[in-house]
Amino acid sequence: MLGTGYVGLVSGACLAELGHHVTCTDIDARKIQQLQLGRMPFYEPGLAGLVQQNCAGGRLTFEPELARATAGAEAVFIAVGTPPMADGSADLSALFAACHVVIGTSPNRFTLLIQKSTAPVGTARRLRQEIASCNGHGERLEVAVNPEFLQEGSAIENFLHPDRVVIGTGSARAERLMRRIYAPISLQGTPLVATTLESAEMIKYASNCLLATKVSYINEIANLCEAVEADARVVARGMGLDRRIGPKFLHPGPGFGGSCFPKDAQALLRFAAERGVSLRIVAAALEVNNAQGERMVDKSEAALGGLAGPRIALLGLAFKPNTDDIRESPGLRLAEMYLERGAAVVAHDPMAVPNVMATTVGRSLRFADDPYEAVRDADALVVVTDWEEYRRLDLRRVASLLRRPVLLDLRCIFKPKDAVDAGLDYHSVGLQPLLGGRRGPEPRTAARREARSANLQFVGQTRSPAGSA
Ligand code: NAD
């Protein structure tokens, strides 16, 4: 396994769990040395145990020397990053560098180079040409495509029990080997889609962009719900029960983030444009997503009567729950925009804080050890990531700790009535604000009473009478 990041390490550990002998390597030798000591480079539920179990079983090893790790392997997966370049296209330099590691080991038996990284349609064919042009390995070294569909936070379950496995190959021999690798999964009844290199590459992009589109679609509908006094959660539920639509990726929120959707949508747009094809729906999904982030800041500004000065408790910096990944995280983006507009931010996340501390934005944030500490004396609570522990927050306690009773539930995790009953003004996505602050517990100090009445006055001015709690 060349590349031991989120995909490489999970895939390596899971392939070992399926009974294969796997060696994971990475250009970051320190990462491999840490793994040799049993230390995980990132948080993924269940991963540490799975790695440990398979290392103990002798099926999983870590090797810092790239060439030594790949030499003699029957199949070499490449799971390196393919990050976006300035123009949106995918940076394939790590993929080609990894391919050259394998070429350099001059395999003397049939070896399958498996492109697991997400890369534009045509990349596998380019890798083939690279192999052919470098030396005479053409017959011994073949290329296959095996896109990965795991989701961080539930990656092990996703890998071991996927909806489907997609394999793109250019020969019957390569297909046979791929089928052998995935036999333990296909024997469970999981469909295996065997196709060409190009179609396999396209399936990955087309799937991710449809999911991103679904998110942007429900967010646009949610924005309209706010204007017409409909409730987007109920609307989403009513839509999602239609089996042709399905409930997943139909949750109103602050927009999509993470290491895949934004980058894959940009890359697909880019390589389609290079071929003279305009993908208007994908472009719109990205545009709506960018605007949704801005909309969350405007919403906060309206709820607080301005962002210059207030202290905001922001819960959730990982781009989704159960991961410490902050790539393109809506929480981090929101924190940055709050700071730009003059607010102070006290943030909390169960797992992602060390990663955030290493960023520029992170240096301007304050961090709290637990959600209630973040909320203490803040002017608003903003929930951006739907970690399970946030769903269980005691809203009455939150109301008693806040300086002003403002809750922005950007993931729609609370029942509006619970928030209002706790004395909070409830702002969400796809629902008009509901005022509970007026009925909440008495402020503890004169200063708080003053702050609260100032806020209520403002909120009262912005909502329509029909939106009253
Ligand atoms: P990552 O950044 O977590 O891991 C990539 C790893 O590759 C890093 O450890 C890096 O050090 C290593 N690397 C870089 N250049 C290398 C080289 N030349 N040789 C060996 N190792 C090298 O990235 P990731 O999230 O695991 O994503 C990997 C690929 O899988 C990307 O193409 C991504 O789009 C795709 N993917 C990611 C996910 C996801 O949820 N993260 C899901 C499906 C597909």
Ligand 1 pocket member 265 (CB < 6 A): no
H or E element in which residue 428 lies:
strand 425-428
Q: Does the pLDDT of residue 48 top 80, yes or no? A: yes
109 band by pLDDT with thresholds 50, 70 and 90? confident
> Which 3 state secondary structure label does DSSP give 41?
coil
Ligand 1 pocket member 5 (CB < 6 A): yes
* Mean pLDDT across 436-465: 41
Q: What is the pLDDT of residue 25?
A: 98
Tokens 């393109």 locate to 328
Cα distance between residue 26 and residue 28, in whole Å: 5
Can you name the residues that pair with 84 across neighbouring β-strands?
90
Q: What is the pLDDT of residue 213?
A: 98
Q: Does the pLDDT of residue 455 top 60, yes or no? A: no
**Mean pLDDT across the chain, nearest whole number?**
92
Q: What is the pLDDT of residue 329?
A: 98
469 CA from centroid of ligand 1 (Å): 48
260 is catalytic: yes
Catalytic residue among 14, 209, 260, 412: 260
* Mean pLDDT across 117-129: 97
Ligand 1 pocket member 284 (CB < 6 A): no
Ligand 1 pocket member 81 (CB < 6 A): yes
Question: Closest ligand 1 atom, CA of 31?
Answer: 9
pLDDT digits (tens, 9 = 90+) for 140-150: 899 999 999 99
Q: What type of residue is 21? A: H
pLDDT digits (tens, 9 = 90+) for 183-238: 999 999 999 999 999 999 999 999 999 999 999 999 999 999 999 999 999 999 99
Q: What is the pLDDT of residue 456?
A: 34
* Mean pLDDT across 430-456: 56
* Mean pLDDT across 235-253: 98
Q: What is the pLDDT of residue 105?
A: 87
Cα distance between residue 95 and residue 78, in whole Å: 7
Ligand 1 pocket member 430 (CB < 6 A): no
Each as own residue / partner, the long-range contacts of residues 91-96 (CB below 8 Å, 24 or more positions apart, any chain) are 92/119, 92/120, 92/123, 94/3, 94/27, 95/119, 95/123, 95/127, 96/127, 96/130
For residues 140 and 152, is the Cβ–Cβ distance under 8 A?
no
Q: Does the pLDDT of residue 462 top 60, yes or no? A: no
446 band by pLDDT with thresholds 50, 70 and 90? very low
Look up residue 433 and give its two tokens: 């604000």
460 band by pLDDT with thresholds 50, 70 and 90? very low
pLDDT digits (tens, 9 = 90+) for 318-359: 999 999 999 999 999 999 999 999 999 999 999 999 999 999
Q: Alpha helices, DSSP H only, in 241-370? A: 261-274, 280-304, 330-340, 353-357
430 dihedral zone (left: phi>0; alpha: psi -120 to 50; beta): left
Q: Does the pLDDT of residue 49 top 50, yes or no? A: yes
Closest C-alpha among 144, 148, 142 to residue 179: 144
Q: What is the pLDDT of residue 331?
A: 98
467 band by pLDDT with thresholds 50, 70 and 90? very low
Out of 32, 80, 100, mutate this one to test ligand 1's pocket (max ligand atoms within 8 Å of CB): namely 80
Q: What is the pLDDT of residue 277?
A: 98
* Mean pLDDT across 378-396: 98
Strand order in the sheet with 192-195: 75-78, 111-115, 141-145, 165-168, 192-195
Signed CA dihedral, 113, 36, 26, 260: sign only: positive
Question: Closest ligand 1 atom, CA of 41?
Answer: 9
Closest C-alpha among 1, 7, 16 to residue 323: 7
Q: What is the pLDDT of residue 444?
A: 38
Cα distance between residue 327 and residue 310, in whole Å: 27
pLDDT digits (tens, 9 = 90+) for 284-331: 999 999 999 999 999 999 999 999 999 999 999 999 999 999 999 999
| Cα 69-72-74 angle, rounded to 5 deg | 105
Cα distance between residue 426 and residue 405, in whole Å: 9
Which three-class secondary structure string do you get for 165-213?
A: EEEECCCHHHHHHHHHHCHHHHCCCCCEEEECHHHHHHHHHHHHHHHHH
Range of lowest pLDDT (6-15, 245-254, 428-437): 428-437
Closest C-alpha among 42, 234, 64 to residue 152: 42
